[in-house]
């Protein structure tokens, strides 16, 4: 390989906005999944942000009135917020702006699973593929990276590519900012057109190996495409320092939840359809013995709320975008010991989300008979994102019609 076209794998992944590279994902498209070419989006660009709480997402956040009478999980009239139309949430959400609170709903998920090992991947599996990746493919658009996971911990579930789309991992925003032309000029970086030509030459010289290993090198193929598409697409100017200041960040590395929300905004502004993030690490939400709900509230308040507030204030009511945010975990916490329930209650916010609930649990953290399972949540997200009809049907439709605007 000549020096002129010798772009290393490290350089390739830097250009694709990933400091660690794309994950090694498969290349099988599940039967019945739509193709991006047939599903062009309208003028309003939609995106879905998935915030996953490993260990569990206590129903006190989305259905606290279920525990009011007995005072379980420490619920009182003083720490709840009545948003109307049957929706009561934990007062933690009171710090959010009026628009977010006026477009919030609780969604019930009766998956019947009470073990971490099964519940985590199940929440991200519909039709044997990741619904996050499938929706990213089905929502179309011209983003060079259609599905992104921000942070070092990947969303659970299958990693199979769908329609040529795989989940690209973003662990440092600097490479994304540089690739999109949003940072200060860097004399060590090649010009975009030159870099694109070099990248195309490198891909062509690797074509034989890529074609001979269609599954094992699928992530590399996707990485080439994402990098090339990014470089040939005109850079849309934005103020990187303003973004950092808004989220209170001093470094571009994606570690805290605030930095993950900042990275999510950055990716959405660059055209990404679906962004996943995990609030994991040593202090997750497997809050056994948290009978007062104090640990769950403290963790959520300190870790999630600062970035969530900034993100929703900046992104939920933009005239040219329709951003949907969902927060959920493996399962809710059971009573009396804050152990593993077999259902979960998700919190969803978005421009076309109606205030209301399909996730009101009973006093023993159970959901009514007939409550939809996991595919119902993803169908609702697709509907709230105004995804193409085929994308919504690919999730099995939207059974939560009462909380999505027509």
Q: What is the pTM of this model?
A: 0.80
Domain map (residue ranges) of the chain? 9-403
**pLDDT at position 39, please?**
32
Q: What does the pLDDT read at residue 143? A: 86
How many residues are present in the chain? 406
Q: What local confidence, expressed as pLDDT, does residue 124 receive?
A: 98
pLDDT score for 248: 97
Q: What's the pLDDT at 239?
A: 78
Q: Walk along the chain (406 residues) in steps of 10 and give the mean pLDDT of each run.
A: 35 37 27 31 83 97 96 96 98 98 98 96 97 96 91 95 94 79 48 55 65 63 56 61 94 96 95 95 84 96 97 96 98 97 98 98 97 98 97 97 96
């Amino acid at each position: 390989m000549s020096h002129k076209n010798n772009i290393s794998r490290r350089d390739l992944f830097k250009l694709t906005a990933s400091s660690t590279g794309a994950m090694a994902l498969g290349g099988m498209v599940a039967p019945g999944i739509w193709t991006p070419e047939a599903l062009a989006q309208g003028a309003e660009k939609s995106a879905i942000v998935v915030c996953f709480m490993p260990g569990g997402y206590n129903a006190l956040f989305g259905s606290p009135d279920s525990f009011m009478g007995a005072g379980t999980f420490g619920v009182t009239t003083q720490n709840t917020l009545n948003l109307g139309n049957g929706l009561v949430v934990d007062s933690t959400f009171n710090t959010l702006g009026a628009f977010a609170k006026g477009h919030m709903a609780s969604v019930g998920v009766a998956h019947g699973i009470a073990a971490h090992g099964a519940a985590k991947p199940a929440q991200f599996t519909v039709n044997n593929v990741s619904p996050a990746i499938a929706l990213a493919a089905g929502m179309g658009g011209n983003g060079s990276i259609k599905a992104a996971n921000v942070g070092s911990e990947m969303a659970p579930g299958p990693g199979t590519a769908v329609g040529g789309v795989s989940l690209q991992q973003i662990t440092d925003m600097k490479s994304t900012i540089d690739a999109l032309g949003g940072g200060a000029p860097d004399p060590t970086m090649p010009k975009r057109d030159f870099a694109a030509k070099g990248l195309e030459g490198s891909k062509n010289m690797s074509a034989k190996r890529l074609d001979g290993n269609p599954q094992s090198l699928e992530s590399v193929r996707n990485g080439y495409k994402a990098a090339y598409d990014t470089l040939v697409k005109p850079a849309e100017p934005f103020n990187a320092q303003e973004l950092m200041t808004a989220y209170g960040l001093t470094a571009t590395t994606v570690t805290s939840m605030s930095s993950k929300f900042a990275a999510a905004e950055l990716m959405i502004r660059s055209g990404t359809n679906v962004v996943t993030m995990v609030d994991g690490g040593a202090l997750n939400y497997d809050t056994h013995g948290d009978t007062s709900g104090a640990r769950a509230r403290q963790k959520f308040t300190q870790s999630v709320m600062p970035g969530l507030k900034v993100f929703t204030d900046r992104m939920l009511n933009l005239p040219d975008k329709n951003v949907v945010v969902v927060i959920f975990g493996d399962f809710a916490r059971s009573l009396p010991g804050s152990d593993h329930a077999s259902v979960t209650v998700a919190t969803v916010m978005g421009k076309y989300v109606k205030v209301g609930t399909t996730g009101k649990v009973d006093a023993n953290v159970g959901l009514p008979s007939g409550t939809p399972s996991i595919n119902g949540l993803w169908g609702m997200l697709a509907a709230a994102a105004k995804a193409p009809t085929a994308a919504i049907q690919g999730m099995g439709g939207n059974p939560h019609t009462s909380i999505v605007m027509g």
